[in-house]
Amino acid sequence: MTENLPIAQSQSLYELLGGETGVRALVDRFYDLMDSAPEAKDIRALHAASLKQSREKLFMFLSGWSGGPPLYMEKFGHPRLRMRHLPFTIGDRERDQWIWCMSHALDAGGFHPSVVEHLKTRFREVADFMRNQE
Protein backbone atom coordinates (compact mmCIF):
# COMPACT_ATOMS: atom_id res chain seq x y z
CA MET A 1 0.00 0.00 0.00
CA THR A 2 2.95 2.33 0.50
CA GLU A 3 4.67 1.55 -2.81
CA ASN A 4 4.47 5.15 -4.08
CA LEU A 5 5.39 6.78 -0.80
CA PRO A 6 8.95 8.04 -0.21
CA ILE A 7 9.11 6.26 3.13
CA ALA A 8 10.88 3.05 4.13
CA GLN A 9 9.17 0.08 2.50
CA SER A 10 9.05 -1.67 5.86
CA GLN A 11 6.60 0.87 7.26
CA SER A 12 2.89 0.20 6.94
CA LEU A 13 0.41 2.98 6.34
CA TYR A 14 -0.76 2.32 9.88
CA GLU A 15 2.73 3.13 11.15
CA LEU A 16 2.98 6.19 8.90
CA LEU A 17 -0.24 7.48 10.47
CA GLY A 18 1.20 7.06 13.96
CA GLY A 19 -0.32 3.70 14.86
CA GLU A 20 -3.33 3.47 17.13
CA THR A 21 -2.94 7.02 18.45
CA GLY A 22 -2.61 8.55 14.98
CA VAL A 23 -5.51 6.63 13.47
CA ARG A 24 -7.77 7.45 16.40
CA ALA A 25 -6.83 11.15 16.16
CA LEU A 26 -7.60 11.14 12.42
CA VAL A 27 -11.01 9.55 13.05
CA ASP A 28 -11.76 12.02 15.84
CA ARG A 29 -10.86 15.02 13.64
CA PHE A 30 -12.99 13.60 10.84
CA TYR A 31 -16.08 13.15 13.02
CA ASP A 32 -15.54 16.43 14.87
CA LEU A 33 -15.69 18.19 11.50
CA MET A 34 -18.71 16.20 10.40
CA ASP A 35 -20.47 17.09 13.64
CA SER A 36 -19.73 20.81 13.53
CA ALA A 37 -19.15 22.03 9.97
CA PRO A 38 -22.10 23.34 7.96
CA GLU A 39 -20.30 21.95 4.90
CA ALA A 40 -21.06 18.44 6.22
CA LYS A 41 -24.72 18.83 7.20
CA ASP A 42 -26.10 16.28 4.73
CA ILE A 43 -23.60 13.55 5.55
CA ARG A 44 -24.05 14.26 9.26
CA ALA A 45 -27.80 13.77 8.90
CA LEU A 46 -27.20 10.18 7.78
CA HIS A 47 -25.63 9.32 11.15
CA ALA A 48 -27.12 8.66 14.58
CA ALA A 49 -27.35 11.52 17.08
CA SER A 50 -24.30 10.12 18.85
CA LEU A 51 -21.26 9.52 16.67
CA LYS A 52 -19.61 7.25 19.24
CA GLN A 53 -20.36 3.99 17.41
CA SER A 54 -19.43 5.47 14.03
CA ARG A 55 -16.13 6.71 15.43
CA GLU A 56 -15.29 3.30 16.84
CA LYS A 57 -16.21 1.42 13.66
CA LEU A 58 -14.20 3.74 11.42
CA PHE A 59 -11.24 3.50 13.79
CA MET A 60 -11.41 -0.30 13.75
CA PHE A 61 -11.80 -0.40 9.97
CA LEU A 62 -8.96 2.03 9.25
CA SER A 63 -6.67 0.18 11.65
CA GLY A 64 -6.88 -3.01 9.61
CA TRP A 65 -7.19 -1.30 6.21
CA SER A 66 -3.95 0.60 6.82
CA GLY A 67 -1.98 -2.47 7.86
CA GLY A 68 -2.52 -2.44 11.60
CA PRO A 69 -4.56 -4.82 13.74
CA PRO A 70 -7.62 -6.16 11.88
CA LEU A 71 -10.00 -5.00 14.62
CA TYR A 72 -13.07 -4.58 12.40
CA MET A 73 -12.68 -8.01 10.77
CA GLU A 74 -12.22 -9.66 14.15
CA LYS A 75 -15.43 -8.16 15.52
CA PHE A 76 -17.73 -7.84 12.49
CA GLY A 77 -16.23 -9.97 9.72
CA HIS A 78 -15.55 -8.71 6.22
CA PRO A 79 -16.29 -4.98 5.94
CA ARG A 80 -18.49 -5.28 2.80
CA LEU A 81 -18.44 -1.49 2.66
CA ARG A 82 -20.85 -1.01 -0.22
CA MET A 83 -23.39 -3.46 1.17
CA ARG A 84 -23.25 -1.89 4.64
CA HIS A 85 -23.81 1.58 3.15
CA LEU A 86 -26.69 0.63 0.82
CA PRO A 87 -29.42 1.54 3.36
CA PHE A 88 -28.21 5.16 3.21
CA THR A 89 -28.82 7.57 0.36
CA ILE A 90 -25.36 8.46 -0.88
CA GLY A 91 -25.12 10.71 -3.90
CA ASP A 92 -22.55 13.20 -5.12
CA ARG A 93 -23.36 15.66 -2.31
CA GLU A 94 -22.90 13.12 0.47
CA ARG A 95 -19.74 11.73 -1.16
CA ASP A 96 -18.29 15.21 -1.52
CA GLN A 97 -19.09 16.14 2.07
CA TRP A 98 -17.45 12.94 3.34
CA ILE A 99 -14.37 13.71 1.25
CA TRP A 100 -14.36 17.32 2.52
CA CYS A 101 -14.30 16.12 6.15
CA MET A 102 -11.62 13.52 5.54
CA SER A 103 -9.45 15.89 3.49
CA HIS A 104 -9.52 18.50 6.23
CA ALA A 105 -8.86 15.87 8.90
CA LEU A 106 -5.85 14.62 6.92
CA ASP A 107 -4.53 18.14 6.34
CA ALA A 108 -4.62 18.84 10.08
CA GLY A 109 -2.89 15.58 11.00
CA GLY A 110 0.73 16.59 10.55
CA PHE A 111 1.38 13.58 8.31
CA HIS A 112 4.04 13.46 5.60
CA PRO A 113 2.61 15.23 2.50
CA SER A 114 2.98 12.11 0.35
CA VAL A 115 0.97 10.11 2.89
CA VAL A 116 -1.77 12.76 2.83
CA GLU A 117 -1.94 12.76 -0.98
CA HIS A 118 -1.93 8.97 -1.12
CA LEU A 119 -4.79 8.76 1.37
CA LYS A 120 -6.80 11.52 -0.28
CA THR A 121 -6.63 9.60 -3.56
CA ARG A 122 -7.60 6.31 -1.97
CA PHE A 123 -10.41 7.84 0.12
CA ARG A 124 -11.83 9.62 -2.96
CA GLU A 125 -11.96 6.26 -4.75
CA VAL A 126 -13.70 4.55 -1.85
CA ALA A 127 -16.14 7.42 -1.28
CA ASP A 128 -17.07 7.44 -4.95
CA PHE A 129 -17.65 3.67 -4.82
CA MET A 130 -20.11 4.18 -1.94
CA ARG A 131 -22.45 6.29 -4.08
CA ASN A 132 -25.78 4.57 -4.65
CA GLN A 133 -27.80 7.50 -6.04
CA GLU A 134 -27.34 9.56 -9.19
Residue 1 is predicted with a pLDDT of 46
pLDDT mean over 81-95: 93
Q: Find, among 75, 39, 34, 77, the residue nearest to 52 by Cα.
A: 34
What is the residue range of 45's domain? Answer: 13-129
First to last CA, the chain: 30
Does residue 47 belong to any structural domain of this protein?
A: yes
110/22 Cα distance (integer angstroms): 10
> Does 111 map to a domain?
yes
21: enclosing H helix or E strand: helix 19-36
Per-residue pLDDT, averaged over 110-130, amounts to 96
For residue 129, what pLDDT is reported?
A: 95
Q: Give the mean model confidence (pLDDT) for residues 56-75.
A: 97
Confirm whether 87 is domain-assigned.
Answer: yes
- On whether the CB atoms of residues 120 and 26 are closer than 8 A, the answer is no
Residue 2 is assigned to a structural domain of this protein: no
Summarize the confidence of residues 122-127 as an average pLDDT. Answer: 96
Residue 31: Cβ within 10 Å count: 21
Mean pLDDT, residues 78-88 taken together: 91
- Looking at the structure of the chain, the number of domains it has is 1
Q: What is the pLDDT of residues 31-62, one digit of tens each?
A: 999 999 999 999 999 999 999 999 999 999 99
Distances (CA, A) of 127 to 11, 21, 39, 79, 112: 25, 24, 16, 14, 22
121 is a domain residue: yes
Mean pLDDT of 126-130: 95
Q: For residues 36 and 34, give the distance between their C-alpha atoms in angstroms, rounded to a whole number.
A: 6
Residue 52 has phi, psi (to 5 degrees) of -60, -50
User: pLDDT tens digits for 3-22?
Assistant: 555 555 679 999 999 999 99
Look at residue 8 and tell me if it is in a domain.
no
Q: Is residue 4 part of a domain?
A: no
Which CATH number do you get for residue 115? 1.10.490.10
Query: 6 lies in a domain?
Result: no
Q: Tell me what pLDDT residue 10 has.
A: 73
